[in-house]
Amino acid sequence: MLEDYTWESITVPKGFVTDLDSVPRIPFIYALAKGRARVSAIIHDYLCVYSNLPQADVDKIFLKAMKAEGLGKFYRSLIFTAVRCYQVTLGKL
């Protein structure tokens, strides 16, 4: 990030590095989902790394942020499911 970013009470500091929405590299899902939830993904990645919140709470914030970012229900569901699948493959869930 090139500057601090604040959404609600969460501040992601300048210099935080993110890979945005980590979704499986399944072509159809990747093509539809990658890059659509940029701000939400930054918030989610930051909370995954630096917060003490349970993963379920971090994921609820992610859904709320995607909605605030203007993503429709289809894309929110697709991205959320893809990110959860990626978390499972990493053993985080």
Instruction: Identify whether 11 is part of a domain.
Output: no
CB 79, CB 33: distance < 8 Å: yes
pLDDT, position 22:
60
Instruction: Identify whether 59 is part of a domain.
Output: yes
Query: pLDDT by residue (tens digit) across 12-54?
Result: 999 998 877 565 555 566 566 667 788 898 999 899 899 999 9
Domain count, the chain: 1
Instruction: Identify whether 2 is part of a domain.
Output: no
Instruction: Identify whether 51 is part of a domain.
Output: yes
Give the whole-angstrom CA distance, residue 28 versus residue 82.
11
pLDDT, position 80:
87
57 vs 89, more confident: 57
Q: For the chain, give the mean pLDDT.
A: 82
Average pLDDT over residues 68-81: 90
Instruction: Identify whether 77 is part of a domain.
Output: yes
56 vs 27, more confident: 56
Instruction: Identify whether 33 is part of a domain.
Output: yes
Closest CA to 21 of 72, 70, 59: 59
79: containing domain: 19-89
pLDDT, position 85:
76
Instruction: Identify whether 55 is part of a domain.
Output: yes
